[in-house]
């Protein structure tokens, strides 16, 4: 009879694993395994409190369920080795983790000792595991700080689940049941939640600082001007030409990317009336011989130009009487030096779509031109028509939906089409898919920039021609669902994420979601 029960249990476990394989993300894309120690016929440690026997297995399960809930809330994919009071062998626990291709395995336990004076939290990892040690240290520190319990530290151990689990594995001892004071805490629901939240925070920190530290790189300075210089340093060892645009006024700045691509130089930001010292230093480092200022003296003053000239650098200003004419002047310059096969048409009063296409404009040599929502200005129509002379139709790609560019505004062009999504973030994804399919862009180094404040994204557009990499816009504090899907679809090809700006431009929370979206695949 006993043998029959064991067989039934094993059959049920096999059926569970098979079912999870075919139930989508539950096991196939699990990232973290939460393992409540003991269970069923194995109570673990026991202790008496107010004439009641407290079993470790029950405390483990309560903390583990809270931890799983918190990690799910933060966006992680979770699988538990047990969710009820059942017995699961050590080999079965390891099998569940290994079959799921989990990244992290966390086993939850409560400690016990022969002396009631033993106290504190400790976390075990397998000997020689660098990542295991890093996670164990973060967990023990976070749990101790959150609970006030003594930090007994991270310790090596040759436990079965640590030895036989392929994932980064740790075993957490939340406190000592044999210590009456700690037992009262361990049985308190509020304390259990505190432990779960502290463990989740430690896992978060580990994912970004250890597991993903080599995959996420930020280009940031103390302000947007320094950030533009840092992006330039990362992408250019030297450059004969550089582009200067206003760091405060975007209408002229957003049309600079195609010119930057042609000149193979960085886009740097300046104040209106003074050249920031960090930008002057960057021009020196680049050994720039030519600087192109985009926009009139109202956005980048002549005093800025004079400062640059004093360094022996030739300065050229490209500007029109308004944003529409400045965009045309940039396009004319490009056309006089290279053949233009297409243009991007964007709303002249809303710049998210222009920035979404900026890296592709730089790589493809498609200048960005402005239109009104319902009617394309005659000057823009005339310029595009002038490009048609003696050659094939020039392609006109409208970026954005009918709410920003009506059909009548771009259908005046015979070879016109539209790229748009439900919002600026989906539009960004669709533009980058165009860059991948048509212009052979790669996703190995996927770039991100703030989709609300465009200064960093504008400078990051140089990655389009420098790295031929996609550039995705994101809200500063979260990851858009369409962007998350893009990461998931391309996860096998992505090896690195390049983030423009500091943790205000793209918050730690958003960076974590980027890492999770990649890890979950």
Query: Which residues are marked as active site?
Result: 173
DSSP for 31-75, written as a single string: -EEEEE-SBTTB--SEEEETTEEEEHHHHHHHHHHHHHHHHHHTT
Radius of gyration (C-alpha) of the chain in whole angstroms:
29
How far is it, in rounded angstroms, from Cα 176 to Cα 112? 5
Q: Position of tokens 């609300």?
A: 452
Q: What are phi and psi of 293, to 5 degrees?
A: -95, 125
DSSP, res 118: -
DSSP for 417-463, written as a single string: EEE--SSHHHHHHHHHHHHHHHH--EEEEEEEEESSS-HHHHHHTHH
How far is it, in rounded angstroms, from Cα 96 to Cα 167? 11
How far is it, in rounded angstroms, from Cα 63 to Cα 65? 6
How far is it, in rounded angstroms, from Cα 509 to Cα 477? 6
Q: How far, in whole angstroms, is CA 18 from its chain's centroid? A: 32
- CA separation, residue 19 to residues 12, 16, 24, 35, 96 (Å): 10, 5, 9, 19, 12
From its phi and psi, is residue 39 left (phi > 0), alpha (psi between -120 and 50) or beta? Answer: left
- CA separation, residue 179 to residues 35, 110, 186 (Å): 24, 11, 10
For residue 306, give the H/E element and its range: helix 302-309
Tokens of 29: 């894309």
Number of other CB atoms surrounding residue 365 within 10 Å = 21
3-class DSSP state of 367: coil
Tokens of 127: 């000997």
Number of other CB atoms surrounding residue 197 within 10 Å = 15
Dihedral sign of CA atoms 47, 53, 54, 55 in order: positive
Q: How far, in whole angstroms, is CA 465 from its chain's centroid? A: 21
């Amino acid at each position: 009879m006993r043998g029959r029960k064991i067989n039934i249990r094993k059959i049920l476990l096999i059926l569970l694993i098979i079912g999870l394989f075919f139930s989508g993300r539950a096991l196939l894309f699990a990232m973290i395994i939460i393992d409540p120690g003991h269970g069923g016929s194995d109570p673990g440690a026991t202790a008496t409190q107010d004439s009641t026997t407290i079993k470790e297995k029950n405390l483990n399960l309560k903390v583990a369920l809270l931890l799983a809930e918190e990690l799910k809330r933060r966006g992680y994919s979770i699988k538990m080795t047990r969710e009820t009071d059942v017995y699961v062998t050590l080999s079965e626990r390891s099998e569940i983790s290994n079959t799921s291709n989990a990244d992290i395995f966390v086993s939850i336990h409560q400690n016990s000792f022969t002396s009631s004076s033993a106290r504190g939290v400790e976390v075990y990892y397998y000997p020689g595991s660098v990542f295991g040690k890093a996670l164990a240290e973060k967990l023990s520190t976070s749990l101790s700080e959150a609970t006030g319990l003594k930090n007994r530290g991270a310790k090596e151990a040759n436990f079965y689940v640590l030895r036989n689990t392929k994932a980064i594995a740790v075993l957490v001892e939340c406190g000592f049941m044999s210590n009456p004071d700690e037992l009262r805490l361990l049985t308190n629901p509020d304390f259990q939640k505190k432990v779960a939240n502290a463990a989740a925070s430690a896992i978060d920190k580990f994912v970004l600082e250890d597991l993903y530290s080599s995959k996420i790189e930020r280009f940031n300075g103390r302000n947007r001007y320094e950030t533009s210089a840092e992006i330039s340093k990362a992408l250019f060892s030297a450059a004969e030409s550089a582009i200067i645009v206003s760091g405060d006024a975007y209408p002229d700045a957003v049309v600079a990317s195609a010119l930057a691509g042609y000149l193979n130089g960085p886009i740097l930001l300046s104040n209106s009336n003074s050249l920031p010292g960090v930008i002057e230093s960057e021009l020196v480092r680049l050994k720039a011989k030519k600087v192109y200022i985009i926009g009139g003296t109202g956005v980048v003053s002549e005093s800025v130009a004079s400062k640059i000239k004093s360094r022996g650098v030739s300065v050229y200003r490209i500007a029109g009487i308004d944003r529409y004419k400045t965009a045309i002047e940039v396009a004319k310059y490009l056309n006089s030096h290279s053949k233009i096969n297409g243009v991007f048409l964007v709303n002249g009063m809303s710049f998210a779509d222009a920035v979404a296409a900026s890296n592709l404009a730089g790589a493809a040599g498609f200048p960005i031109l402005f239109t009104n929502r319902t009617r394309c200005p005659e000057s823009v129509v005339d310029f595009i028509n002038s490009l048609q002379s003696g050659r094939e139709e020039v392609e006109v790609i409208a970026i954005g939906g009918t709410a920003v560019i009506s059909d009548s505004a771009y259908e005046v062009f015979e070879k016109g089409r539209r790229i748009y999504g439900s919002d600026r973030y989906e539009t960004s994804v669709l533009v980058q898919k165009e860059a991948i399919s048509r212009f052979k862009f790669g996703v190995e180094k996927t770039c991100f920039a703030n989709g609300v404040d465009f200064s960093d994204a504008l400078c990051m557009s140089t990655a389009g021609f420098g790295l031929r990499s996609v550039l995705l816009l994101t809200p500063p504090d979260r990851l858009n669902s369409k962007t998350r899907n893009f990461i998931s679809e391309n996860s096998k090809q992505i090896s690195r994420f390049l983030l423009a700006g500091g943790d205000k431009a793209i918050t730690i929370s958003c960076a974590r979601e980027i890492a999770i979206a990649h890890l979950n695949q």
